[in-house]
Amino acid sequence: MIGEEAMINYENFLKVGEKAGPKCKQFFTAKVFAKLLHTDSYGRISIMQFFNYVMRKVWLHQTRIGLSLYDVAGQGYLRESDLENYILELIPTLPQLDGLEKSFYSFYVCTAVRKFFFFLDPLRTGKIKIQDILACSFLDDLLELRDEELSKESQETNWFSAPSALRVYGQYLNLDKDHNGMLSKEELSRYGTATMTNVFLDRVFQECLTYDGEMDYKTYLDFVLALENRKEPAALQYIFKLLDIENKGYLNVFSLNYFFRAIQELMKIHGQDPVSFQDVKDEIFDMVKPKDPLKISLQDLINSNQGDTVTTILIDLNGFWTYENREALVANDENSADLDDT
């Protein structure tokens, strides 16, 4: 024992493997032992870590089989309808979703499936590899809902939880003022703090799938996933496509100015002091440090780790104001903390 942790050496590990029988043979190998060997000076591994490793492997194997049952074409991919069926049949096995009304199931399934397709099918082929589903953390989040004791915080940060799905769908219903089940540009403009520019919203409706100029729930989910995960490459790719007005594969001074002019106009309307585009443009190029000093590519934006800040500055007045006043806001937070301490 090391404290509470039970340890085992390689010799005994092999003995246990022999006693465990042929079914477990694949886990009692030198490769697995080496993988779990960390810093123990006597060359032992933690029994609990080994147990967790085996459980994870078995779970992945079972889940791969479970997902493969829905792979109608037998090609190792799931289409949207396949994944919808998988999640629909999973709902009754997740205690955290017990309270969901049956009438909400179709909206819940749509909300859950969208996250998989938004992040795992960036080229919008309409199918995703089972391998990719297993490799990402989304299934872990989904199956976390088996835990009856899941904390309120965990539920709020888990896209697949009932409170989260109801929040997103509730926002959609609140925005839909004429109750026709779709969102017009005017209705979407009230999203979040209602400070996104008209120019950006125009681009959303030009580039995204709409029906008679209105957005359905599925298209809205992509929009929400992009704006709520602006640090992620898939979200940046979505927003970059909207900012790339000339469809050139990069942002230049013209496209930055095109979007920032709309921020300047909103500032005038709200009686805020004007900010020079030249200064903002220089700050953006300094933050991103693109390979080409005159063009910002999507890859530049991702590599810089500043993509969320840059996109916020260009599309949302509230986001730009927060960025401009970041030092004052930090000072306020520190002062508040000092007052709390006293």
- In order along the chain (342 residues), what is the average pLDDT of each group of 10 residues? 89 93 91 90 91 89 92 93 95 92 95 96 92 91 88 91 95 95 96 93 93 94 95 95 94 95 92 89 94 94 94 92 77 58 55
Task: Check: CB of residue 133 under 8 Å from CB of residue 78.
Answer: yes
Q: pLDDT tens-digit profile of 248-296?
A: 999 999 999 999 999 999 999 988 888 899 999 999 999 999 999 999 9
Tens-digit pLDDT profile for residues 284-332: 999 999 999 999 999 999 999 999 999 999 999 988 988 888 776 566 6
CA distances 84 to 90, 113, 116, 122, 339, Å, are 10, 6, 11, 18, 51
Q: Each residue of 237-249: pLDDT tens digit?
A: 999 999 999 999 9
Give the global pTM: 0.84
Residues 174, 192: contact at Cβ < 8 Å?
Answer: no
Distances (CA, A) of 248 to 105, 204, 251: 41, 17, 8
Q: For residue 273, what are its two tokens?
A: 């002091």
> CA 46 to CA 1: how far, in whole Å?
9
Instruction: Copy the structure tokens of residue 63.
Output: 């889940």
Report the alpha-carbon distance of residue 173 to residue 160 in Å, rounded: 19
Q: Which residues, in sequence order, are CB contacts of 75 under 8 Å at separation 6+? A: none
CB atoms within 10 A of CB 221: 22
- What sections of 191-276 are H helices per DSSP? 198-207, 217-228, 233-243, 253-269
- Residue 304, CB half-sphere, CA atoms under 13 Å: how many? 23
Check residue 161 and give its pLDDT. 95
User: Which of 222, 225, 201, 224 has the alpha carbon at shortest distance from 213?
Assistant: 201
Q: Count of CB atoms within 10 A of residue 145's CB?
A: 22
Q: Which three-class secondary structure state does DSSP give residue 327?
A: helix
pLDDT of residue 150: 86
Buried b vs exposed e over 275-301: b needs ≥16 C-beta within 10 Å? eeeeebeebbbebbebeeeebbbbebb
> Is 179 in a helix, a strand, or coil?
coil
Contacts (Cβ under 8 Å, ≥6 apart) of 62: none
* pLDDT value, residue 281: 93
